[in-house]
Chain A
C-alpha cells in the first residue's frame, strides 16, 4: 500500500488525540482508585 502524507496525517492525529484522551481518563480513574484505597487503610 502506498503510504503518503494524506494517509499518514489523519492516522497520526488520531493516534495522538486518542492516546492523549485515554491517558487523561486512565490517570483520573487510577487516581480515584488510589484515593479510595488510601481512605480504606
Chain B
C-alpha cells in the first residue's frame, strides 16, 4: 500500500517534479488569469503575458529544453511586470465617468455601475499573480537544473547522448 509522503517527501517530490504536466498547467493557468487584470494593467502587457503563456505550451510540446527555459523565463518576467503594475495601480481611482450630484449635504461625486475592489478581491488578485510569477521562476530553475544534470551525465558517459 502506498505510504504518505510526509513533509520531507512532499518537498523532495515538488523539488524534482519537472514533468510536462506542470509546464502545460502553468501555461493554461497563465492564459486564464491574464484577463483578470484588464483595466488595471496596460493591454500590451496583458497581451504579451498571454503570448508568453502560449509560447510555454508550444515549447513544451515542440521545442528544445533550452527554448522551454527561455519561454518560462519570459513568462516569469511578464507575470512579475503584471504584478508590479497591479500593485502600483490606484485601485480607488474610478475607471469610468464620475457624476457630480447636488444633494442635501452639498455636491457629491458618484459613478455608475462600478464597484470598488474589496480587500479580499485585491488580496486574491495579488496572490494569483505572485503565484504565477513564482511558479514560472521555479519551473525555469528546474529546467535549468535538468539541463545541467544532462550535461553532467553526458560528461560521465563520455559524450554519449542519453535518451
Contact = CB atoms under 8 A, between A and B. Distances in A.
Interface residues on B, range: 20 to 34
Q: Which of A22, A26, A40 has the most CB of B within 10 A?
A: A22
Contacts of A11: 81, 84
Contacts, number: 54
A33 B85 contact: no
Interface of A: 1, 6-7, 9-11, 13-15, 17-18, 21-22, 25-26, 29-30, 32-33, 36-37, 40
Given A7-B42, A33-B152, A18 B144 contact: no
B145 interface: yes
Mostly, the A contact residues are: helix
B156 A29 contact: no
Mostly, the B contact residues are: helix
B95 interface: no
User: What are the nearest 4 A-B pairs in CB distance?
Assistant: A10-B84, A14-B81, A33-B148, A14-B80
